[in-house]
Each structure stands twice: as C-alpha cells, then as structure tokens.
Amino acid sequence: MKDNSTTLFRILSITQKLLEGRIVSKQELADEFKVSAKTIQRDINKRLSMLPIVLEKGTGWKLDKNSTDKNLAQNYSQIIQLNNASSFIELAIIKAREAIDAADAIIIASGAGMGVDSGLPDFRGDDGFWKAYPPLKALGISFHQMANPKWFVENPSMAWGFYGHRLNLYRNTIPHRGFNILKELVKLKDNNYFIFTSNVDGQFQKAGFDSDKIEECHGSIHHNQCVSNCTDNIWSNEDEHCEVDLNRFLLTSDIPKCKYCNQIARPNILMFGDWGFNAERRNTQTNNLMRWLQNNIANKKSKIVIIEIGAGKDIPTVRNFCEEVSLQYKAKLIRINPRDYNGLQNTISIPLGGLEALEKIYN
Ligand SMILES: NC(=O)c1ccc[n+]([C@@H]2O[C@H](COP(=O)([O-])OP(=O)(O)OC[C@H]3O[C@@H](n4cnc5c(N)ncnc54)[C@H](O)[C@@H]3O)[C@@H](O)[C@H]2O)c1
Ligand SMILES: [Zn+2]
C-alpha cells in the first residue's frame, strides 16, 4: 500500500514535469525519489507508456513536441483514470501552493462557476437555465436568446423581469468563504492583485475587494446605461427597486429610466448581438489592468500567478485571457474547475469546485 502510493506520487510528479516541458533524466529522478534507476526505467516503460515520450541521448526524456495538445490532454486524463484521481488532486494542490508561494502578484480570474458555491446558477446549458427560469422553458427561450438587448425595445417589462430578478438575486447573495480565502492569499502579497471576471454579479466588490483592481469584462448588473445611448455616462442602480412576478416573468414595479433622457434604461452588461453596450466603464477597468500588468512586469519584474476559477468553455473570454497572460508573462496558471479543468501545457489543473479547491490550497 505504502509502496503503491509512492509509485503513484512518482508517476504523477514525472508526468507533471514532462507536461511542463522539462527534460527528465533517469539518474536525477532516481535520486529525487530515492529509488533505483531501474525503477524509473520501469515507470517510463510501463506506467507512462501512453505519453508521447522521446529519449534524447545524453540528456534524458522529454515530451514529443510533435504530439498535439489534444492528444496530450487525452493521454493525461488516461493517466489520471488509471491512477488514483484523489492523488492527482493532492499533487495539483501542492503545485498550486508552491506556485502561489513563489509569486509576487496574483491575478484572480473567474467565470460563472465562481458563484456556484454561493448558491448562484451558472445557467449551464438550456436545462440549467430553464431550471432557474421555468417560465422561459414554456416559451422555449434560451439564455442566449434572453440575454439580448432587443427585449428592452420589444418587451421592456420582460427584459427587466429577467435582469431585475437577477439583480435582486445577486444583491441578496453572500459571497462564499472562497472569497475570504482569496483575500487572505492576496494579503500575503501586500495586496498586489488584479481580478478579471466575466461575472456581472459584483460579488468580488461585495466580498471587499478593491473596485479599482477589478475588470468586469462583460459589464455589471449593478450599473445602468441608456438604451438609446443618449449619453456616455453609466450610473449605479443601487437606488433602483425591482419587483418581479416570476410566474408571468414580468417586472411589476416601474421600469428603470435613463437619468438623462427619461427613456428606458438597461443594465450595463454585454449581451449577445449587443451593438449598444456602453463600454466606457469596462474600458477604464481594462486600462487599470494594463497599467497594473505594465507596472508589475516592466517596473517590478514580478512573478505572477493566475488563479482561474469556474470559467467555462462556451464563451472562453476568461480562459483565453488567462492563457494569453500565462504565455506572455510566463505566469503560472492554476485552473480550478470540476469539469472543464484541462489546459495548455504547464497548467495546474484542479478538478474541484471553487470553494473546495481554495480550502484545500489554504489549509
Ligand atoms: N454570476 C454571473 O455573473 C453570471 C452567471 C451566469 C452567466 N453569466 C454570464 O454568462 C457567461 C457564461 O460564461 P461562463 O464561462 O462564466 O459560464 P459557463 O456556464 O459557461 O461555465 C461555468 C463553468 O463553471 C464550472 N463550474 C461549475 N460548478 C463549479 C464550482 N462549484 N466551482 C467552480 N467552477 C464550477 C463549470 O464546469 C463551467 O466550466 C458569461 O459571459 C457571464 O457574463 C454571469
Ligand atoms: Zn438616455
């Protein structure tokens, strides 16, 4: 039993090294794991035979660059399945801790999955969306169709029925403990952090993060803009009160109005097919992020770690951002996601929910 778990740790460690693009030598591995060179040779031949490994004479083994990322991901998941998944997670947690310890600055990136442990829906698939909004199932309207600016013109009561309900939901939600753990982690770096999220729910601000250190790339439900864009201004809707009849899926209180022209207002959220989204606020946030990156890279030469939580594949804005920053600035990427955890080489994948993963990392 003891020997088995040691073998497993060895296999997963060697896999991780190879996936990080490193060349591993038989003798070095034997020394590191305190086993014979023969054992390492057996590991490579038998346990890791599904990986595309090539031997470079005189230096050691490395991954065959010609194999595609897709194959690698498949091979990697085979190893995880063949071995014990929980040990894989343990190893990933250790790697994540090491990466966070070694960093001077943290990027936190999140998608809808970050809210799931606070009880928020991620609207995953039509089923997930319709579970949250049964009346829309009867009408056959999907999330993609509902999240469209046309409804503010065609049926403002219904449009605000949807967004008013979500506004109330996010206002009443208490961010889960994972947000506090993230606050503790960034404190260790003298609060040198930036947040990039596609969530419109304002949960990071609510948890006490600095709003000047957040980019909400798809906007914010807590802010309104004019439907006809009579002004570039965007304003907080904290004084707005939305009553929604969920059975009829309609707003029953007054429809929020533009402060400037008294026409209909809408949330400052980037919807599908949205040519009217007012990007002023988001652009200011992007500039803050660019300045932060510039300052950390050019001036401080900081080592950055990215903690990505609950970002889906359908609209991969957050995942792409993380991968781009990771490649461009050699930043370690920790990807936390119970389902969509695979990533590019070097990614530290943690196949768990956000709260559970953060608790394990912080333990
Ligand atoms: N809270 C919000 O603000 C909210 C909610 C739903 C959708 N949206 C919008 O819809 C779009 C959806 O894109 P998306 O990629 O964010 O969502 P998505 O629904 O496509 O993906 C959610 C991801 O979260 C993962 N997940 C599920 N449970 C999790 C958990 N407990 N911990 C961590 N991860 C978990 C899923 O595996 C999935 O990969 C975005 O543009 C966003 O603006 C926002
Ligand atoms: Zn207006």
Closest CA to 282 of 296, 267, 292, 268: 268
Which of 122, 177, 218 has most ligand 1 atoms within 8 Å of its beta carbon, as the pocket-test mutant? 122
- For the chain, which residues score pLDDT lower than 50? 1-4
First to last CA, the chain: 25
The pLDDT of residue 10 is 82
Nearest CA to ligand 1 atom 28: 113
Backbone dihedral angles phi then psi of residue 26, each to the nearest 5 degrees: -55, -50
The pLDDT of residue 1 is 32
Type of residue found at 202: G
Q: Does the CB atom of residue 315 touch ligand 1 within 6 A?
A: yes
Q: Is 60 left (phi over 0), alpha (psi -120 to 50) or beta?
A: left
Structure token pair of residue 79: 């190893």
Strand 332-336, strand 304-309: pairing:
parallel
Distance 205 CA to ligand 2 centre (A): 27
Query: Residue 270: nearest ligand to its CA?
Result: 1
Q: Does the CB atom of residue 164 touch ligand 1 within 6 A?
A: no
Nearest CA to ligand 1 atom 40: 198
Atom of ligand 1 nearest to the CA of 219: 43
Distance 270 CA to ligand 2 centre (A): 18
Spatial distance between the Cα atoms of 222 and 265, rounded to a whole number of angstroms: 12
Structure token pair of residue 138: 């009867």
Q: What's the pTM value of the predicted model, to 2 decimals? A: 0.82
Q: Which CATH number fits domain 103-362: 1.10.510.10, 3.40.50.1220, 3.40.50.720, 1.20.1440.230?
A: 3.40.50.1220
Q: Does the CB atom of residue 217 touch ligand 1 within 6 A?
A: no
| pLDDT tens, residue by residue, 52-108 | 888 988 889 988 877 655 566 566 666 655 555 667 788 899 899 999 999 999 999
**Token pair 């370690």 is at which residue?**
332
Query: Residue 116: nearest ligand to its CA?
Result: 1
Interior/surface letters 177-195, b for 16+ CB within 10 angstroms, e for the rest: ebbebbbebbeebeebbbb
Counting every residue written for the chain, the total comes to 363
Type of residue found at 288: N
| pLDDT tens, residue by residue, 303-317 | 999 999 999 998 999
Query: Residue 264: nearest ligand to its CA?
Result: 2
Atom of ligand 1 nearest to the CA of 115: 1
Distance 214 CA to ligand 1 centre (A): 17
| CA distances, 82 to each of 17, 49, 88, 180 (Å) | 18, 12, 11, 35
Q: Does the CB atom of residue 115 touch ligand 1 within 6 A?
A: yes
Nearest CA to ligand 1 atom 30: 353
List the domain boundaries for the chain: 2-83, 103-362
DSSP state of 32: H
Distance 232 CA to ligand 2 centre (A): 9
Radius of gyration over alpha carbons of the chain, in Å?
A: 24
Q: Does the CB atom of residue 116 touch ligand 1 within 6 A?
A: yes
Spatial distance between the Cα atoms of 121 and 129, rounded to a whole number of angstroms: 8
Q: Does the CB atom of residue 123 touch ligand 1 within 6 A?
A: yes
* Topology adopted by domain 2-83: Arc Repressor Mutant, subunit A (1.10.10)
The pLDDT of residue 49 is 76
Query: Residue 227: nearest ligand to its CA?
Result: 2
